[in-house]
């Protein structure tokens, strides 16, 4: 099984940004942890970008069995990322480090949840 682990805007700032929401670990520590835990079961491809079009291109080009995506703030704004995921028909799980349902109202709107296999938040 091949999985694409996609992280969107500002997730390169993990370990520095709002530690009360996102913890102390950096993105590379998070990726190493995922790699250690799951690489015996799946081939993992990691990608992070702050640019919407780069995430869309990665989704369009993906030849994988599944996508795990933390689209960051694009979750709440991006019909384009939704359309990219719909166009590939690759099953995906939406992930958030924080529990977006305990935060501001605008974070409770997701353009991805209703087409995701599942959502993990918090």
Quote the least distance from Cβ 10 to ligand DQA, whole Å: 5
Cβ neighbour number for residue 80 with a 10 Å cutoff: 15
Tell me if residue 96 is catalytic: yes
Least Å distance between CB 100 and ligand DQA? 5
Shortest CB 42 distance to ligand DQA, Å: 21
Q: Which is nearer to ligand DQA, 32 or 43 (CB)?
A: 32
Structure-block tokens of residue 76: 């709440």
Residue 70 vs 78, nearer CB to ligand DQA: 70
| Positions in the binding site for ligand DQA (CB under 6 A) | 10, 70, 72-73, 75, 96-98, 100, 107
Quick check: is 53 catalytic? Answer: no
Q: Secondary structure of the chain in the HEC alphabet?
A: CEEEEEECCCHHHCCCCCHHHHCCCCHHHHHHHHHHHHCCCCEEEEEECCCHHHHHHHHHHCCCCEEEEECHHHHHCCHHHHHHHHHHCCCEEEEECCCHHHCCHHHHCCCCHHHCCEEEEC
Please identify, using beta-carbon distances, which residue of 40 and 79 lies nearer to ligand DQA.
Answer: 79
Which residue of the chain is nearest ligand DQA when measured via CB?
72
Active-site annotation, residues: 22, 96
């Amino acid at each position: 099984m091949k999985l694409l682990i996609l992280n969107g805007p500002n997730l390169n700032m993990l370990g520095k940004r709002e530690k009360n929401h996102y913890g102390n670990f950096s993105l590379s520590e998070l990726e190493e942890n995922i790699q250690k835990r799951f690489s015996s079961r799946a081939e993992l491809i990691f990608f992070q970008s702050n640019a919407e079009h780069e995430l869309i291109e990665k989704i369009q080009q993906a030849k994988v069995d599944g996508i795990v995506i933390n689209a960051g703030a694009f979750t709440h704004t991006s019909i384009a990322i939704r359309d990219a995921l719909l166009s590939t028909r690759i099953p995906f799980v939406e992930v958030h480090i924080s529990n977006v349902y305990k935060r501001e109202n605008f974070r409770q709107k997701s353009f991805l949840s209703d087409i995701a296999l599942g959502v993990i938040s918090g």
